[in-house]
Structure 1
Amino acid sequence: MRLLIADDHDLVRETLAAFLSREADIEVTVAADLEEACAIIDKDRPFDLVLLDYSMPGMDGLKGLERVINTGATRPVAIMSGTAPKAVAQEALDAGAIGFLPKTMAAASMVNAVRFMAAGETFVPVKFMTEEAEEETNPLAKGLSPRELEVLGGLCRGLANKEIARELDLQEVTIKLHVKTLCRKLEAKNRTHAAMIAKEAGLF
């Protein structure tokens, strides 16, 4: 797997690169800003996954993400950030990012996320996407437990029970029970309907 990490913080960039390089099948290239990343992509394409820091020089919000995607030289592309809120994560996904990685993620989780996205699967930590919703006390969220919100977040991202179970470190049968409870509480006909209700309520 060929991975490009672009981040203007030397310590973050080199720490991530060093950790991911320990994996026998991951080859890591680094860049300090968007311009350098684009130059590397143009010269040394293709990469299996590109990780872009949201706030590094040249990014200009999500325009940098769109620029890399529009080169057509590499896919998929993901955004990393230590400060960006859930709304930015959603905007990144809407703009074509394969995922969003908070820099607070545990190292082992980062490796799993990188492999997941390199395989073409969208990844955003369920906990990250649900924490703000809980704080905002959305009316729909008041009747749901934190765990149910995490599962509902997975449904809204189109994840299968097995994928949600893997992210939350739970048994698949437990996720099935949560989905059943969510459908009852939300008066949803099925998991797709439950996700639709949550999105229409602005919960995700």
Structure 2
Amino acid sequence: MKVLLADDHDLVRDALKAYLESEKDIVVITVPDLNSACEAASKSLFDVVLLDYAMPGMNGLEGMSKAMEAGDGRPVAIMSGTASKSVAQSALAAGAAGFLPKTMGAKSLVNAVRFIAAGETYVPVDFMNSSDAERKHPIAADLSSRELEVLERLCLGLANKEIARELDLQEVTIKLHVKTLCRKLHAKNRTQAALIAKDAGLF
């Protein structure tokens, strides 16, 4: 089975690739953004295409449609660590072959990809049955979606300049977000803010 995995976080890409390639019959090709995913999908047929919902070029679900077109209708699924149930529902309504929360364990991820490759639509039942409020992490409840994006990248050890480039924002804006995050998380600095988020299992 050949899988195309598109995610802008190196660590996440490597982890998911390792999960999937622990199975002898799965080969994973990784790319960092939507444009690379579309280019790869247009050159080679993949059994499943996995797209990170928040990576560069996606523009919500527009990117998914582009990838589906580039892949000649091959199954495309959305992955996310923060998207709501409504986003998952919209993705499925737009033709997604599945919605995979990044909190899934290795075995569940492999099973989901096999399910999608077999022509089925996959979405975790407990994810769709729970409310967004129930799923929202206590720490995340007080943070905006942009602050969560910045915090996630702090946890990956990215500098303000790198975060600004990834989110297409000014570096001064990232500094303000980091300052706000430290205040909301009662952290002395960016490193402590990242540790608080990691220790709490937010990412």
Deviation at 1:6, TM superposition (A): 0.2
* TM-score under structure 1 length normalisation: 0.63
Deviation at 1:72, TM superposition (A): 4.7
Partner Cα separation in structure 2 for residue 82 and residue 4 of structure 1: 18
Kept in 2, the 8 Å contact 1:52–1:65? The answer is: yes
Aligned to 2:68: 69
Aligned to 1:59: 58
Q: Identity, % of aligned pairs? A: 61
Aligned to 1:93: 92
Partner Cα separation in structure 2 for residue 133 and residue 107 of structure 1: 23
Deviation at 1:69, TM superposition (A): 1.2
Aligned to 1:26: 26
Aligned to 1:41: 41
Kept in 1, the 8 Å contact 2:77–2:98? The answer is: yes
Kept in 1, the 8 Å contact 2:41–2:71? The answer is: no
Encode CA deviations 1:8-31: one digit per residue, 9 max, x unaligned: 011000111012112111011000
Deviation at 1:74, TM superposition (A): 4.6
The 1:130–1:46 alpha-carbon spacing in structure 2 relative to 1, beyond 3 Å, is same
Residues 155-166 of structure 1: pairs in structure 2 closer than 5 A: none
Deviation at 1:70, TM superposition (A): 2.1
Deviation at 1:39, TM superposition (A): 1.2
Partner Cα separation in structure 2 for residue 61 and residue 7 of structure 1: 14
Encode CA deviations 1:58-107: one digit per residue, 9 max, x unaligned: 00000000111123525100000000000000000000000000000111
In structure 2, give the amino acid aligned to 1:89.
A
Aligned to 2:155: none
* TM-score under structure 2 length normalisation: 0.64
The 1:29–1:72 alpha-carbon spacing in structure 2 relative to 1, beyond 3 Å, is closer
Aligned to 1:107: 106
SS of alignment partner, residue 130 of structure 2: helix
Aligned to 1:126: 125
After TM superposition, the runs of 4+ consecutive aligned structure 1 residues lying more than 4 A away are none
Question: Once superposed, what is the RMSD of the aligned Cα atoms?
Answer: 1.6
SS of alignment partner, residue 5 of structure 2: strand
Partner Cα separation in structure 2 for residue 57 and residue 80 of structure 1: 14
SS of alignment partner, residue 46 of structure 1: coil
Encode CA deviations 1:145-173: one digit per residue, 9 max, x unaligned: xxxxxxxxxxxxxxxxxxxxxxxxxxxxx
Aligned to 1:16: 16
SS of alignment partner, residue 101 of structure 1: strand
Partner Cα separation in structure 2 for residue 94 and residue 46 of structure 1: 23
Aligned to 2:167: none
Gaps of 5+ in 1: 136-204
Kept in 2, the 8 Å contact 1:47–1:74? The answer is: no
